[in-house]
A and B are shown apart, each in its own frame.
Chain A
C-alpha cells in the first residue's frame, strides 16, 4: 500500500529533468484544435470545413504566476483550457507540462501523475457538481481514482482538511450540492481541484456566474490559496477588471489566436494591439465621472468557420492596410515580455 507521500516521491522522480527557474511549468506550442463540420446526406457524411476554435496558440506559464486569458465568447479560451487538461486531443501542436509532451504515448502511472498536477475549476457551479452525490463523495472521488488503496479514514480526513482550507465546515461534507449557494458551490469546486495537491489550476470563468459581493470572496480565497499552496493559475475570464485584479500576465485571444500577451501593468498602460485598445475602451466604467473616448468596433466577430485571411481582426480594425488581409502577423516581442501579433502595433 502506497501512502500519499510515496506518490509524491514518484512524481518528483518523473519530473526530475525539469528546472523551474529556466523553463515554464506549462507551455503550449502551436496548439490547434479544429472541429470538423460535416455535410450529411443519406448515404455519406463528409467533412466540408473546420471550426478553428484554437488556431496556433503559444502560451507559457511560469511557476507561481497567474496568467489571465481574456477574450469574447467563441474566441477559444475554454477549448484551449480543455485541451491543456487533455479533455480534447489537439489537431496540431502540443502541450508540455514540466518539459514532458503530454500527448506522446506514456504509461498509465505517468499519465495519472501529470493529471494530478493540472486541475480545473469550471464556470457554472450549478452544472459542474453532481446533484446526487454528497460533497464528501465529490471531493473524495479523485482519491478513489488516483489513490485507490488509501485507507478510507485517511481519504475522509483529507477531504475535511481541504474543506476547511476553502472556508467550509466539517458538517458541509455530508450535504448535497443543492443545499449550497452559488458561492459555496464554487468553493466546493475549488476544493475538488485542490484535492490532488496540484501545481497548476485552470480556472475557467470561476466567478462570472456569481454576484458581485460573492465574487469578491472567491477572488480573495483564490489569492490566499495561491500563496498557501504555491499554485500556478491560468485564469480565464471575459471581464477585464477581474483579469486585471488577479493576473501577473495577461493574454488576449481573438478567433483562436493570441493577439497580445504582456505583464498586466504593461498591457493596461502601453496597450499595443488595436483589438486590446478597443476592448479596454468598450468596458463601461462604474464611475460616472469618467468620460471615455470610446472606440466602438463595427460589426460582430467573424465566425470561426470562415476566418478572415491574414490577421483575423482586420475586417473590424481601423488601422488595417492591405498587408493585414494577406499575411497573418507573427507574435513578436516588441518590448521585453510584451508580445503582439499585429503589423502596425501602437508603440
Chain B
C-alpha cells in the first residue's frame, strides 16, 4: 500500500505471556509500520499492548514472554530482527533503535554520575575514547537544553528535576545517532508546563536528526501534537491506522469514535460525556471474535464469532471492523482542508 519502504515493519506480531493464572494474549496479530524519518503514534488505553509492542520490537521481553514464530515478523531496515542472534541484537539496541522510558526517576542509576552513565553507553557503541565520549555527551546535553552542561554532567541523577532527567535520557538516546527512537510515554510523569518543554525538544530533535519516532502514549493531545500517522491499539490488536489529521477529524472504528467522544474538551461545553460501557478486556481470556464487541453498539453475531479482517478503506487508512461498510465512513475532503487552515490562539480558548 505504501510506496516508500518503511524503516520498521511489524507483521503478524503475536506475543504471549505464560503466567500462573493462564496465557496472556498480549499481542494478537499486530501489523504496523514506521517510515524513515516519520513520527508515528501508538495510542491506546492501559493494557492494550502498547508497551509490549515496543519491548517485542527490541526483544527485551521478560522471561515468561514469547514472540510466536511463525508467523511474527519484525523487519527493521529490511532485516527480520527475530532472526538475529543475541549478539547482533545488542548492536541494534541503542545504536540503531534507542528507547526512552516513561519514568525518568527509575531509568537512571542513582549511584553513578550522569557523565559515567552517558560515557559508558557512548563508548559501548561508538569507537571513541573517554574524553571524546564526554564531549559528545556534553554536546547532546546542550542540544536538549540543559544549562551549564559542562559542569552539570558531573552531577548525580537526584540533583536534577523530573523534566531535566527526561532531557538527559533523550540526550543519552540520541548520542548514539539512532535511526529510530522509541519513546514510551515520555511525558506522562511530568507536569503540564514541563511536558510542553519536553515535547518541544522531542519535536525539534526529531526534525533535526530526521529520526523515525515511535511515540507510545495514551494522551491524545500529545499524539495530535507530534505525530503524522497513528496506530490505535485495542486489546492487543491494531484497530485503526492512518494519518493523524484524518483520524482525529474523522475516525472510522467504533472504538476510536467512542474514545474521542469520551474525553472532556477544552473547546466545547458538554454537560454529559459519551461513555464506553464496561472496561478494557482482560487478555487472559479475551473476548472471542472482535475484541471490542462486548462494548460496541454496532456489534452483531459475526462480531462475536469471527475476527474482523484488516481493511484498507483508502490508500492510507486501515480499519479492523466487520461493519466498516455500514458505518458512515466517507471522508469529507473539504472539511479536512477547511479546518486545517484555521488556527486557534490562546485567547480563543
Binding site for B on A (CB under 8 A): 72-73, 181-184, 211-217, 219-220, 223, 238, 240-242, 244-246, 268-269, 271, 277-297, 300-301
Most-contacted residue by chain B among A181, A284, A285 (CB, 10 A): A284
- Chain B residues whose CB sits within 8 angstroms of the CB of A279 once the complex forms: 192-193
Known pairs A211-B45, A223-B271; A238 contacts B263 (CB<8 A):
no
Known pairs A286-B224, A289-B342, A293-B346; A223 contacts B272 (CB<8 A):
yes
Flag if B196 contacts A285 (CB, 8 Å). no
- Chain A residues whose CB sits within 8 angstroms of the CB of B164 once the complex forms: 300
Give the contacting residue for A288; candidates B244, B264, B265; CB below 8 A. B244
Binding site for A on B (CB under 8 A): 45-46, 161, 163-164, 191-197, 199-200, 218-225, 244-245, 248-249, 258-260, 262-267, 270-277, 279-280, 339-340, 342-346, 349
- Chain A residues whose CB sits within 8 angstroms of the CB of B349 once the complex forms: 268-269, 280
**A158 → chain B closest CB, angstroms:** 27
Give the contacting residue for A244; candidates B192, B258, B264; CB below 8 A. B264
How long is the Cα–Cα vector from A277 to B348 in the complex, in angstroms?
Answer: 12
Given A212-B259, A213-B258, A280-B349, 15 other A-B contacts at CB below 8 A? Answer: A72-B192, A213-B280, A220-B273, A241-B264, A284-B195, A284-B199, A284-B219, A284-B224, A286-B263, A287-B267, A288-B248, A292-B345, A295-B346, A296-B200, A300-B163
How long is the Cα–Cα vector from A143 to B252 in the complex, in angstroms?
Answer: 50
Known pairs A245-B270, A292-B346; A286 contacts B192 (CB<8 A):
no
Flag if A217 contacts B199 (CB, 8 Å). no
- Chain B residues whose CB sits within 8 angstroms of the CB of A183 once the complex forms: 279
- Chain B residues whose CB sits within 8 angstroms of the CB of A290 once the complex forms: 224, 267, 343-344
- Chain B residues whose CB sits within 8 angstroms of the CB of A219 once the complex forms: 264, 273
Flag if B346 contacts A280 (CB, 8 Å). yes
- Chain B residues whose CB sits within 8 angstroms of the CB of A241 once the complex forms: 263-266
- Chain A residues whose CB sits within 8 angstroms of the CB of B274 once the complex forms: 216
Flag if A212 contacts B263 (CB, 8 Å). yes
- Chain A residues whose CB sits within 8 angstroms of the CB of B272 once the complex forms: 220, 223
How long is the Cα–Cα vector from A183 to B225 in the complex, in angstroms?
Answer: 28
**A314 → chain B closest CB, angstroms:** 15
How long is the Cα–Cα vector from A293 to B348 in the complex, in angstroms?
Answer: 11
Total A-B residue pairs with C-beta atoms closer than 8 Å?
A: 147
- Chain B residues whose CB sits within 8 angstroms of the CB of A211 once the complex forms: 45-46, 218, 279-280
How long is the Cα–Cα vector from A219 to B273 in the complex, in angstroms?
Answer: 8
How long is the Cα–Cα vector from A223 to B271 in the complex, in angstroms?
Answer: 9
Flag if A288 contacts B343 (CB, 8 Å). no
* Nearest CB in chain A to that of B346: its residue: A281
* Nearest CB in chain B to that of A298: its residue: B197
Give the contacting residue for A282; candidates B45, B196, B223, B224; CB below 8 A. B196
Flag if B279 contacts A216 (CB, 8 Å). no
Known pairs A181-B279, A213-B275, A288-B245; A268 contacts B266 (CB<8 A):
yes
Flag if A215 contacts B262 (CB, 8 Å). yes
**A76 → chain B closest CB, angstroms:** 14
Flag if B262 contacts A285 (CB, 8 Å). no
Flag if B263 contacts A216 (CB, 8 Å). yes
- Chain A residues whose CB sits within 8 angstroms of the CB of B221 once the complex forms: 283-286
Most-contacted residue by chain B among A268, A271, A292 (CB, 10 A): A292
Task: List 6 A-B pairs, minimum CB-CB distance, nearest first.
Answer: A284-B221, A245-B264, A286-B220, A216-B262, A282-B196, A72-B191
Provide a sorted-by-A list of 19 A–B residue pairs whose CB atoms are within 8 angstroms: A72-B194, A211-B45, A211-B280, A215-B262, A216-B273, A223-B271, A238-B191, A240-B192, A268-B349, A278-B193, A279-B192, A283-B221, A283-B266, A285-B224, A285-B267, A286-B265, A288-B248, A292-B345, A301-B191
